[in-house]
């Protein structure tokens, strides 16, 4: 038995109590197994009323995405058109990478309700509770040399930021290179994993995590200083299907612009949304600390930093912070 | 049983015939299994004399690398110091990638006597018969952004070319970007597979195939127009252990120079060995055909091509050919 069958049983008896005995008989499993699956569903956000006499009643179902509904609302040609909607995965990146190795077409999208080992940048973990966020990975097969892979990260941040602002009405900014923030708190992370042979990109797995409908108590106090969700910021939950469908369309359109016209068209869009430009910053690079004011992106996607001396540095990779005052 | 045990049995009875009956008893396998393993060893280049009365005698052993001997002759600090010497693999790239994912240190080297699915550039296959070539892959963990991955391909070609010329005394040139040639015929191929998270390289698997001791009849007539071996070119076989040990040292030294001083130090070395500069060429790029004269590398490792108009193009990725006359 899996928890899915138990859930269907409750969904067919909406509002009713079902005795453990009945469940055990209908699904042909032990009472202990029934109890374990109830606990499992509770851990995913389902809530049950348990009565010694009457049995269990399903009283709350978390929001769940539907493959049919999402497919129906997509307005894209390729992005999301091959779709894997999964309940629980270790990491959508791993699932998408396997699909890519097996030849999945560009635009193949993996979305999961729950990640047990969500991946953030540099091996950091990522909070991804059931049914509240959008945890997804997409297969890209861009026809560009490996040099340009970082441009795709910036492009993805632009597409996500534009579509989220449109859907939510919130003001969202991009912290270099690719964190989305509302009033300094992170609401989304992007991680692109690239695989290349010599200078040719074989594929890119673009991982996007959106803290859509997470609530205050999903965050530890420590994390809530640095992270928030669309729901917390707006004071209301959002339709995750709409968020995904809108993002897919924006992303595909920008990707097409990029493939035909190059990165030049993306630079001003990124710069317009960035919250990292024109104010003093400290950049921790693998080669050492750079202090200065980021002034824009160069043609390759690196950030241009103007130092106090007037000298300009081009930074490919760094953690960016504010100078201590 | 594996073929290895059968081989040891013959090696302990050098020059003697051993009856199928004896082998079958000593190794506790059927006569049919013995016959199958003899055939397997023959396919790897071993030769047996078979007599109905006396049994089998091992009459020819192909050259085999020894882990102990190779380790002993290495003069490196890291390159090759973690060593996996395998008899038969699908592809050394696959073995090395798994090791890298499991955290293998930089310099981990995989060498195989035989590849059943040797990988060339762009999915092309690669002839890699038993015991005659050097088929290897190494784990690199360079501290450079993904932009610079193609520089490592050029660096590897320089290290291999310099070390092979020193060991063999032959004149060897580099065809852009990374084929090694003797008088226009390919003797070595290099394939670097990179894996990155955003702009950070996680690891690079550097695959190197060297047609060391292949003989005329290892090549089909079609291939022998375009490829040769060190043995054919020099008229004598070479010590593969020495080739590997010398390459490891040259490669490690160049890699150290690169890590501390950047690509600038590598450019003149590559240009000095290149056979692709200063003569007309046709480059088939993903963006179209470029005709012109390659004049050198730019700071990122791309090739600079001067067109008839005097205009210069910078090419990251292409197949290079000669103009038809």
A238 confidence band (pLDDT: 50, 70, 90): very high
Instruction: Please enumerate in sequence order all residues whose Cβ is within 8 A of that of B252, keeping only pairs 6 or more positions apart, or say none.
Output: B76, B77, B78, B79, B107
A60 confidence band (pLDDT: 50, 70, 90): confident
What are the pLDDT digits (tens) for A70-124? 999 999 999 999 999 998 888 899 999 999 999 999 999 999 988 887 766 545 5
Structure-token pair, residue A18: 């079902």
* B221 & B266 share domain: yes
3-state secondary structure B228-240: CCHHHHHCCCCCH
* A246 & A312 share domain: no
Supply the ipTM of this predicted assembly: 0.75
User: Given this model, what pLDDT does residue A121 score?
Assistant: 53
State chain A's mean pLDDT as an integer: 90
B221 confidence band (pLDDT: 50, 70, 90): confident
Predicted confidence (pLDDT) at residue B170 exceeds the cutoff of 70 = yes
What are the pLDDT digits (tens) for B283-301? 998 778 999 999 999 988 9
The average pLDDT across B8-29 equals 89
* B145 & B269 share domain: yes
Query: Between residues A61 and B48, which one has the greater pLDDT?
Result: B48
* B93 & B216 share domain: yes
Percent of chain A with pLDDT over 90: 61
User: Given this model, what pLDDT does residue B244 score?
Assistant: 98
* B144 & B164 share domain: yes
Structure-token pair, residue B286: 């993903």
A322 confidence band (pLDDT: 50, 70, 90): confident
For residue A227, what is the DSSP state? B
H helices present in chain B, as ranges: 3-11, 20-26, 31-43, 67-73, 92-101, 149-168, 221-224, 230-234, 240-261, 267-273
Predicted confidence (pLDDT) at residue B198 exceeds the cutoff of 90 = no
* A245 & A148 share domain: yes
* B101 & B178 share domain: yes
With contacts defined as CB-CB under 8 Å, which chain B residues touch A300?
A: 147
CA gap A252, A274 in Å, rounded: 21
- The B-side interface with A (CB below 8 A) comprises 121-122, 143, 145-147, 149-150, 153, 177-178, 191-200, 286, 300, 302, 316-317
Query: A60, A82, A103: which is the final residue of a domain?
Result: A60
* A26 & A119 share domain: no
* A26 & A117 share domain: no
Collapsing DSSP to helix, strand or coil, A54 comes out as: coil
With contacts defined as CB-CB under 8 Å, which chain A residues touch B318?
A: none
Is there a contact between B318 and B285 (Cβ–Cβ < 8 Å)? yes
* A149 & A87 share domain: yes
Query: A12, A42, A60: which is the final residue of a domain?
Result: A60
User: Given this model, what pLDDT does residue A199 score?
Assistant: 85
Domain CATH for B40 = 1.10.10.10
For residue B302, what is the DSSP state? P
What are the pLDDT digits (tens) for B102-145? 999 999 999 998 888 776 654 555 666 778 899 999 999 998 88
Taking CB atoms and an 8 Å cut-off, how many pairs form between chains A and B? Answer: 82
Predicted confidence (pLDDT) at residue A325 exceeds the cutoff of 70 = no
Query: A12, A37, A60: which is the final residue of a domain?
Result: A60
Domain CATH for B102 = 3.30.930.10
Total domains in chain B come to 3
Minimal Cβ distance to A192: which of B198, B300, B302: B198
With contacts defined as CB-CB under 8 Å, which chain B residues touch A316?
A: 145, 147, 199
Closest-CA distance, B121 to chain A, in angstroms, reads: 7
CA gap B264, A246 in Å, rounded: 45
* A210 & A82 share domain: yes
Domain CATH for B308 = 2.30.30.100
User: Given this model, what pLDDT does residue B84 score?
Assistant: 96
B258 confidence band (pLDDT: 50, 70, 90): very high
Collapsing DSSP to helix, strand or coil, B18 comes out as: strand
The span from the first CA to the last CA of chain A, in angstroms, equals 60
* A104 & A15 share domain: no
Domain that holds residue A29: 3-60
Is the CB of A317 less than 8 angstroms away from the CB of B199? yes
Q: Count of alpha carbons within 13 Å of B90, Cβ hemisphere only?
A: 6
Minimal Cβ distance to B197: which of A147, A191, A199: A191
Query: Between residues B221 and A203, which one has the greater pLDDT?
Result: A203
Query: Between residues A120 and A261, which one has the greater pLDDT?
Result: A261
Residue A5 marked ligand-binding: no
Lowest average pLDDT, out of A116-125, A240-249, A301-310, goes to: A116-125
What are the pLDDT digits (tens) for A147-197? 889 899 999 999 999 999 999 999 999 999 889 999 999 999 999 999 999
């Amino acid at each position: 038995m899996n928890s899915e069958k138990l859930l269907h049983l409750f969904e067919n008896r909406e509002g009713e109590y079902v005795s453990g005995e009945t469940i055990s008989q209908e699904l042909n499993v032990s009472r202990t197994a029934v109890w374990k699956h109830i606990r499992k569903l509770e851990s995913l956000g389902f809530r049950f009323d348990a009565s010694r006499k009457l049995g269990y009643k399903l009283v709350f179902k978390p929001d769940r995405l539907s493959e049919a509904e999402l497919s129906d609302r997509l307005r894209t040609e390729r992005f999301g058109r091959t779709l894997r909607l999964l309940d629980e995965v270790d990491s959508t990146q791993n699932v998408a990478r396997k699909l890519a190795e097996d030849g999945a077409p560009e635009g193949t999208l993996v979305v999961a309700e729950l990640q047990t080992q969500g991946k953030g940048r540099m091996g950091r973990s990522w909070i991804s509770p059931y049914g509240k966020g959008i945890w997804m990975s997409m297969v890209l097969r861009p026809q560009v040399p490996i040099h340009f892979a970082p441009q795709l990260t910036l492009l993805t941040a632009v597409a996500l930021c534009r579509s989220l602002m449109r859907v939510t009405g919130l003001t969202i900014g991009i912290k270099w290179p690719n964190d989305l923030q509302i009033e300094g708190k992170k609401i989304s992370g992007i991680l692109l994993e690239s695989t290349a042979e010599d200078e040719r990109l074989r594929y890119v797995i673009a991982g996007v995590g959106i803290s859509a409908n997470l609530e205050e108590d999903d965050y530890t106090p420590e994390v809530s200083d640095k992270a928030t969700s669309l729901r917390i910021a707006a004071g209301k939950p959002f339709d995750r299907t709409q968020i995904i469908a809108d993002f897919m369309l924006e992303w595909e359109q920008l990707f097409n612009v990029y493939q035909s016209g190059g990165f030049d068209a993306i630079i001003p869009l990124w710069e317009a949304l960035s919250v990292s430009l024109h104010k003093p910053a400290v950049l921790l690079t693998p080669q050492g600390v750079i202090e200065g004011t980021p002034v824009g992106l160069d043609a390759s996607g690196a950030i241009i930093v103007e130092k106090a001396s007037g000298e300009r540095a081009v930074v490919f990779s760094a953690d960016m912070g504010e100078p201590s005052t």
